[in-house]
Chains A and B, each alone.
Chain A
Amino acid sequence: MLGCTCFGGMWAAMDRLQRELVERRGLLSVEDQRSLMLAAAMIPAPKFLAFAAMVGYRIGGILGAIGSSIAILLPGTILVLAACVLTVVASENPALVTIQHYVGLGVVGLLAGNAVRMFVGDGVNRRSVLFGLVISLGIPLYVIAFKGPLIVAACVGLAVGSIVIRGDEKRGAIDVE
């Protein structure tokens, strides 16, 4: 049901999740919910999906995690697929082509804006900014100018960054969608 009624990502749905999981069904305490939400933001996976899997694991082990992941993904996926099927059917429509172009512009802006937000963060000292700048600009430079593989650039950046950037110097990617 939460997969049908929660919009805007995990943090935006926090109140809705609390009403359903804590107050109505008593599956979690408020502290558990917040702790799991924070943990979901710290593991390498989409936050909302990871949160659902963690709640499922708490309730029913690995099968619970699988079941809750499917349940939270299914409604949105059906709608995405319906929209994509309609898009393919109307792919020659000039209005749709124009709209898609402008949506593409918006997505470019979103990616660049989120990149800047993620880079700036807060609580960043000068040394971290310098290393972070090299990593953040080095990845697109390596991929675009030198035609290098993105995966290699990202993995090297993460490995080097984890050595040279430490502690609470950088807040990380917690709240960027």
Chain B
Amino acid sequence: MSSDSSILVEILAVIAFSTLFSLGGGNGQLAIIQDHWVDPGLLSPALFAWAYAIGNFVPGPKCSFVAGIGYFLAGFPGAIACLVGISIPTVFGASLAAHWHDNLKHYVALFMPASGFVIAGMMLTAGTGLARNISIEPLEYLLVGLVVLGVWLRRWDPGVVVLGSAGLGVLVYLSS
């Protein structure tokens, strides 16, 4: 198997596995991507955050941001591998859930109470990893803290946060 097809298989497998940590819409998937490609230096943290940010502005499922991750890793074939990777477990799980909805509820309920804590830990890991990778200045931690409070207490929409951050970036660039 060539290295090109190896990376595509790897992308497909990692994205498919990471999809399992999207339970309840939590972003555990981000932590897997961060851990597998950003921390080892295969994907720049700026592009990782950028792809996620774009995903908040497009119509349809926000998980379409994975296409951007795949594109940055391996071009258009990488994007397709990501889409296949995210679709396989989703279609399989959704079909099972639609078919045996009542029977599966019991098993899902076993994991549901703990899933919030696990995904919280995974998101904390992703946030910490990203913060270490993008070199945050001391003053910029105030901005991060403000966003944390806004998302936690005021339920700020991700699109608003991304748009506000980008707008601040434009202002900083223009004033420098």
Knowing A42-B112, A165-B117, the reply to whether A109 touches B143 (Cβ < 8 A) is: yes
CA distance A39 to B23 in the complex (A): 11
The CB with the most chain A CB atoms within 10 A, among B61, B128, B129, B161, is that of: B61
B138 interface contact, C-beta 8 A: no
A45, A50, A75, A161: the one within 8 Å of B58 (CB): A75
Residues of A within 8 A of B122 (CB): 139, 150, 154
Contacts of A169 in B (CB 8 A): 113
Interface size class of chain A, counting residues whose CB lies under 8 Å from the partner chain = 35 or more
B145 to chain A, nearest CB (A): 7
Kindly state the separation between the CA atoms of A42 and B173 in the bound complex, as whole angstroms: 43
A136 touches B110 (CB 8 A): no
Residues of A at the B interface (CB closer than 8 Å) are 2-10, 35-36, 39-54, 57-58, 62, 65-66, 69-70, 72-77, 79-81, 83-85, 87-88, 94-95, 97-121, 128, 131-132, 135-140, 143-144, 149-151, 153-154, 157-158, 160-162, 164-177
Interface residues of B (CB under 8 A from A): 17, 19-32, 35, 45-47, 49-55, 57-65, 67-68, 71-72, 76, 79, 83, 86-87, 89-91, 93-99, 101, 104-105, 108, 110-131, 134, 136, 140, 143-152, 155-159, 161-162, 164-166, 168-170, 172-173, 176
